[in-house]
Amino acid sequence: MSEDKKRASNQALQGNEAVFCVKGLTKVYDMGEVKVHALRGIDLDLFQGELVVLLGASGSGKSTLLNILGGLDTATEGCVVYKDCDLTRANDSTLTQYRRYHIGFVFQFYNLIPSLTARENVAIVTEIARNPMKPEEALSLVGLDDRMDHFPAQLSGGEQQRVAIARAIAKNPEVLLCDEPTGSLDSMTGIVVLEALEKINRDLGTTTIVITHNAPIADMADRVICLADGLIADVRSNAHKKPACEIKW
Amino acid sequence: MRALNRKLLRDLYAMKGQAFAIALVIASGVAVFVMSITTLNALRQTRADFYKQYFFADVFLSLKRAPEGLRLRIKEIPGVDMVETRVAAAVNLTIKDYSGPVTGQLFSVPDIGKPLLNKLYLRQGRMIEAGRDDEVIVSEAFARSHGFMPGSKLSAVINGRRKNLTIVGIGLSPEHVYQIAPGSLFPDFERYGILWMGRKPLGTAYNMEGAFNNVTLTLSPGAQIEDVIERLDKLIEPYGGLGAYGRKDQLSNRYLYEEFRQLANTATIFPIIFLGVAAFLLNLVVSRLINMQRGQIAALKAFGYNNYAVGLHYLKLIILIILLGVAGGVLSGVWFGRGLSEMYMDYYRFPFLRYEFQPGVAAIAALISIAAGITGALYSVQRGVRIPPAEAMRPEPPATYRETWIEHIGLKRIMSQPSRMIIRHIERKPVKAFLSTIGIAFACAIMIVGCFFQEAIDFMVDVHFRLSQREDLAVTFVEPASKRALFELQSLPGVEYGEAFRSVPVRLRYQHRTYRTAIMGVKPGGDLQRLLNSRLKPFDPPREGILLTDYLGDILGVRVGDKLSVEVLEGNRPVRMVSVAGMVSQCIGVSAYMNIEALNNLMREGNAISGVYLAADPDYHPEILSRLNEMPRIAGIVERRNAVKNFYETISEQLIVYTSFMAMFAATIAFGVVYNSARIALSERSRELASMRVLGLTRGEISYILLGELAVLTLAAIPLGCLIGYILCAYFVDQLQTDLYRIPLIIESGTYALAATVVLVSATISGSIVRRRLDRLDLIAVLKTRE
């Protein structure tokens, strides 16, 4: 990617403060007998309130990037600064605080606690947050008013993912990180989930980063960052964001 | 309630089967611990209270006859507190409608007031009325075995004269908690009783007016018992003193002490092993349980829960399960403990039982259990939280498997793919496999310990009565008699053969160690009483020297060739040096033996004999017994079949009841371990197994892979368990030696087989439960989600 293009895309979000500053980020996994280079030196800024879609094939390093941004994983080299805090130098308890108060996660496989109802799955996060909404409010935001007392096993995949989103946003996080939120859903349900994300980003102004390998989803983003082989291959800004309900795949 | 706590309760409910099995293991350990310790404490407290409240004497002495005036001189001995003189007499009793020989010991009580020492606890009836010469109080055990009530009658031959007596009271004395006839090995409540009678009438009947032949005393605080005994012996010697002795050598107290010591051993070793095994298993199960929750731990961390909160969450889960187990264990422990204590009450004659639930004991059991559970949990939680959440949420990288050495050595061709999976899985995690095997092996081992005693006791009785003490009847005389008495008894109808023996009460001394026992003079070439060597082969006593029961040799610390000081406690009370000629292998009782001629020489007496062993036709026993009962010079008669019966009913019963409780708990533990191993294996591998089902493997084939591993581990555990069981039994045998009996280390193959069967059955039941779950494996659900 040329320097010009990079500057242009960053200019599009002028006036917004950078939430994340990533410099030379590298991650190497030691998988027993092989070493896997997941990230090979990434530079990137992410801005307040933007909805970013990270695109890339399987193994391109997008999940690794997201995990490091979310404080779930540590970098091998380089640095990631969240506002004024250098995450790469943070210890375990700082990272825990960081996740607790600033970050909301949505996972591809929902990771709901099977023994808790939808409401309780949200409550498990709001109970430890600083300024949370009520679990009911969060579930209502994702359109699950009537399913609050159901256990994960009684919910469809889309509903489970929406519970996961409600759980992620209920603490009013500054950043929402979503790893393949529609990955295990059919397209109809996927759209409902995307609408929920869109709504949160728009109404609450939460910086939202969505990982997907599903290219059409990129149309709803402010910015689309493509990763390949652990490097940023392309960054583009959407002049016109498409509403989630118009996306098809 | 917080959502995390709600998760806790629901998780607990979801794993109720496993939680129950873990709680069961804990409960078994705790129950054994609580049962044993509270029972032991209850018995000790009961004994202490009874001794204190009923003034159990400190020093005891029998003598021929001394004037009552001597009492004051005894009291003047420095260190003596209270003194009581008595008349004691051996009596033959006749009880209506009871044909067997019954002997008794008659003690005097003051005509007015109560005894000063060894006071009587009256269970029923009243004390003797002053001046009545036909009233007696009898011991409770004796009364109960004959159904005596106040008002019942019996007759006694006292000093050669028959006298009809009326029972006015039924009592218990701290002196006779353990009622055993002199010279006999086991209590026999039917044929031996303790009776109390007024001092004056008994003195009159026994020619002891104004005199006494028995004295008991207590010591003042700080007094040295050895000094008192020495001065007392010197004072009484001219009056035919038979050697004073302290509580240590008092028969009832000594046996009580020995049995309590034995009980204390079992009551500490058993529970420690049980709780130790339970704790080990808990540790094992908990750590694997938490490993399986890796993904959930990661998710909680991703939400911002810190390590402490996550750790605490799992600790709470574990503690909850443990507390369930502890609660169950304490409740059943107290219940069994009370039952066991009451059983002991039947056996030892205490007037009351001081059984108390001791919260401290329960607290210790709970602490040990919780500590064990927490260490297991902490380690795994720590490992779980240390991994960055992103990594923990990813499926684990494919584990590194290699070809195993079994395959390398060429068995590969004959092994199917599933068989290879089994051995590769075991070889890949050898520590885990080893720990599971150890767990199952310990379950097997404590089963062996639980079952071992019954058979070992059978063996012990068989050796003692079939190889060594082979007589049908043992007759003891009141005083040494001449050999003519043997011929007289041999001529009784039904008597096939007789053998005389001499028994001399002695105190053996070697260096600073002493032991009160009797030297048995044995006839060489005898057929009824035979001495056995260490290989259980009979041998004759040598012409010279003394033989000791191997256990006695250990007590005195002597070896063959050492010279012992033998202090004879009858007649002129000579003291002689005799060299130890050998050791006798003997499981029951403690004795010293000499060639009967050598013993007669030692005593400077002629052919004196103390009694006779008889072999007799069983059909003639009643007749022989009634004839013997009429002979005034006979002090005691022991019928062998009765002795064996008594042994089982009294001595071995308590141990067997206790160990069968153990066996029951051991079986519980065995099941708990195997079931948990199987369930955890299933949870750990259900995804893998479901994948194989999707690939087209049958239910049978995947069951084979999972259960095959369990089978291999179980089969490996059984021989290991047998070995551990053997070692534990050896340890117990060493710890449980008493003067009364020493259990031999004989583990019958049946015991091993039973333990192995329990383990195998547990494995089969667990396997079939797991198999049912495997059949219901939800293929789609398992494959749709990650671990």
Residue B423 has pLDDT above 90, yes or no: no
Interchain pair B304, A116: CB under 8 A: no
Contact call for B10 and A115, based on CB within 8 A: yes
Closest CB to B3 among A93, A116, A171: A116
Q: Are B188 and B643 in contact (CB under 8 A)?
A: yes
CA distance B331 to chain A (A): 31
Contact check, Cβ <8 Å, B304/A93 = no
Residues of A in contact with B308 (CB under 8 A): none
Residues B391 and B495 in one domain: no
**Which residue, of B344, B367, B397, is where some domain finishes?**
B397
Question: Does residue A248 fall inside a structural domain?
Answer: no
Average pLDDT of B512-521? 88
Closest CA to B111 of B206, B195, B197, B208: B197
Q: Is the dihedral of CA B409, B411, B412, B413 positive or negative?
A: positive
User: What confidence category does residue B65 fall into, taking pLDDT thresholds of 50, 70 and 90?
Assistant: very high
Where are the extended beta strands (E) located within B126-242? Answer: 135-139, 153-158, 161-172, 192-198, 211-219
Q: Do A109 and B786 touch (CB under 8 A)?
A: yes
The residue in chain B having the minimum alpha-carbon distance to the alpha carbon of residue A124 is B3
Is A128 in contact with B303 (Cβ distance < 8 A)?
yes
Whether the pLDDT of residue A19 is over 50: the answer is yes
Residue B366 lies in a domain: yes
E strand residue ranges, B175-256: 192-198, 211-219, 245-246
Helices (H), B168-250: 199-205, 225-236
* Closest alpha carbon to B702 in B776, B765, B762: B776
Residue A160 lies inside a defined structural domain of this protein: yes
For residue A200, being part of any structural domain is answered with: yes
Tens digits of residue pLDDT in B271-283? 777 777 766 766 7
Residue A121 contacts B where some CB pair is shorter than 8 Å? yes
Residue B614 near residue B488 (C-beta atoms within 8 A): no
Identify the H or E element spanning B579.
Answer: strand B575-584
Same domain, B493 and B636: yes
Per DSSP, chain A holds a count of helices (H) and strands (E) of 7, 10
Residues B388 and B467 in one domain: no
CA distance B247 to B48: 13
A19 within some domain: yes
B783: which chain A residues are within 8 Å (Cβ-Cβ)? none
Q: How far is A107 from chain B (nearest CA, A)?
A: 9
**Are residues B262 and B385 located together in one domain of the fold?**
yes
CA-based torsion, A85, A91, A95, A98: positive or negative = negative
pLDDT digits (tens, 9 = 90+) for B592-622: 999 999 999 988 888 899 999 999 998 888 8
Positions of E strands within A48-92: 51-56, 77-82, 85-86
Res A5: pLDDT: 47
B172 beta partners: B121
Output the pLDDT for position A8: 43
A109 shares contact with chain B (CB less than 8 Å): yes
- Check whether residue B387 and residue B494 sit in a common domain: no
Q: Which of A245, A232, A241 is nearest to A208 (CA)?
A: A241
Is the same domain home to B520 and B626? Answer: yes
Residue of A124, A150, A211 to mutate for B, most B C-beta atoms under 10 A:
A124
Q: Is residue B455 part of a domain?
A: no
Tell whether B595 and B508 lie within a shared domain. yes
Q: What does the pLDDT average to over B658-669? A: 74
Q: Looking at the complex, report in whole angstroms how far the Cα of residue A46 sits from the nearest Cα belonging to chain B.
A: 21
Kindly state whether residue A249 falls inside one of the protein's structural domains. no
Which of B11, B303, B401 to probe the A interface (max A CBs under 10 A)? Answer: B303
H helices, E strands: number in chain B: 23, 22
For B714-729, the pLDDT digits (tens) are 899 999 999 999 998 9
Q: Does the residue A247 lie in any domain?
A: no
Considering the domain boundaries, does residue B172 fall inside one? no
Please state, as a whole number, how many other Cβ atoms lie within 10 Å of the Cβ of residue B417.
Answer: 9
A121: nearest CA in chain B?
B3
Residues B186-215, mean pLDDT to the nearest whole number: 90
List residues in chain B touching A: CB distance below 8 A.
2-4, 6-7, 10-11, 14, 295-296, 298-307, 309, 388-391, 393, 397, 400, 784-786
State whether residue A228 sits within 8 Å of chain B by CB.
Answer: no
Calculate the alpha carbon distances from B605 to B546, B608, B688 in Å. Answer: 17, 7, 89
Report the distance separating Cα B69 and Cα B53, nearest Å.
28
Domain containing residue B598: 462-646
What is the number of structural domains in chain A? 1
Count the Cβ atoms, other than its own, within 10 Å of residue B559: 9
Cβ burial of A54 (10 Å; 0-12, 13-18, 19+) is buried
Q: How far is residue B533 CA from its own chain's centroid?
A: 26
Quote the minimal CA–CA distance from B380 to chain A in Å.
18
Residue B68 covered by a domain: no
List the beta bridge partners of residue B517. B506
Instruction: Evaluate whether B443 touches B684 at the Cβ level (below 8 Å).
Output: no
Q: Which residues, 6+ apart, have CB-to-CB distance to B620 below 8 Å?
A: B493, B494, B495
B296 to chain A: nearest residue by CA? A113
Q: Is the pLDDT of residue B387 over 90?
A: no
What are the DSSP calls for B11-72, one per residue?
Answer: HHHHTHHHHHHHHHHHHHHHHHHHHHHHHHHHHHHHHHHHHHHTT--SEEEEEEEEETTHHH
CB contact under 8 A, A33 and B7: no
Query: What is the rounded distance in angstroms from the CA atom of residue B303 to the CA atom of residue A100?
Result: 6
What average pLDDT is seen over chain A?
85
The answer to whether residue B347 sits within a structural domain is yes
CA distances from A98 to A17, A87, A208, B487 (A): 19, 9, 16, 104
Which domain CATH number covers A229?
3.40.50.300
Q: How confident is the model at residue B133 (pLDDT cuts 50, 70, 90)?
A: confident
Q: Are B534 and B542 in contact (CB under 8 A)?
A: no
Nearest to residue B450, comparing CAs of B668, B153, B296, B261? B668
What residue type is assigned to position B27 of the chain?
A
Residue B196 lies in a domain: no
pLDDT of the residue at B735: 80
- Number of A/B CB contacts below 8 angstroms equals 91
Contact by Cβ (8 Å): B346, B287? no
Total number of domains in chain B = 2
Rounded Cα gap, residues A83 and A20, in angstroms: 6
- Which helix (H) or strand (E) segment is B637 a member of? strand B634-639
Cβ–Cβ gap A116/B397 under 8 Å: no
- Residue B431, classified by CB atoms within 10 Å of its CB into exposed (0-12), middle (13-18) or buried (19+), is exposed
CB atoms within 10 A of CB B242: 19
Please indicate if any CB of chain B lies within 8 Å of the CB of A150.
no
Mean pLDDT of B423-431: 79
DSSP H or E run through B613 = strand B609-616
Q: What is the chain B residue with the closest CA to A179? A: B390
Q: Identify whether the C-beta of residue B289 lies closer than 8 Å to the C-beta of residue B320.
A: no
Domain that holds residue A125: 3-239
3-state secondary structure of A57: coil
| Residue A245 located in a structural domain | no
E-strand spans in B202-339? 211-219, 245-246
At B359, list the tokens: 């919260």
Q: Is residue A244 part of a domain?
A: no
Give the distance from residue A16's alpha carbon to the nearest chain B alpha carbon, in angstroms. Answer: 27
Q: For chain B, give the percent of residues with pLDDT over 70.
A: 93
CB contact under 8 A, B10 and A129: no
Sort out which chain B residues have CB atoms less than 8 A from A124's CB and list them: 3-4, 7, 300, 303
- C-alpha neighbours within 13 Å on the C-beta side of residue B580: 23
Q: Chain B contact for A175, CB < 8 A? A: no
Residues of A in contact with B294 (CB under 8 A): none
| Domain assignment present for B317 | yes
The pLDDT value recorded for residue A1 is 44
Q: Per-residue pLDDT for A14 more than 70?
A: no
Residue B396: CB partners within 8 Å, gap ≥ 6? B787
**How far is Cα A53 from Cα A64, in angstroms, rounded to an integer?**
14
B707 in a domain, yes or no?
A: no
Assign A2 a pLDDT band (cuts: 50, 70, 90).
Answer: very low
* Per-residue pLDDT at B560 exceeds 90: yes
Q: Which residue of A has its CA nearest to B395?
A: A109
Residue B400: the pLDDT is: 62
User: Does B785 sit within 8 Å of A105, measured CB to CB?
Assistant: no
CA distance B781 to B687: 9
Higher pLDDT, B646 or B549: B549
Q: What is the pLDDT of residues B629-659, one digit of tens each?
A: 778 778 778 888 887 887 777 666 767 777 7
pLDDT digits (tens, 9 = 90+) for A160-217: 888 988 888 888 899 999 988 887 778 888 888 898 889 889 988 899 999 988 889 9
Any residues with CB less than 8 A from the CB of B193 and at least 6 apart, and which? B93, B102, B104, B105, B138, B139, B141, B142, B143, B179
Are B544 and B628 within one domain? yes
Nearest CA in chain B to A95: B304
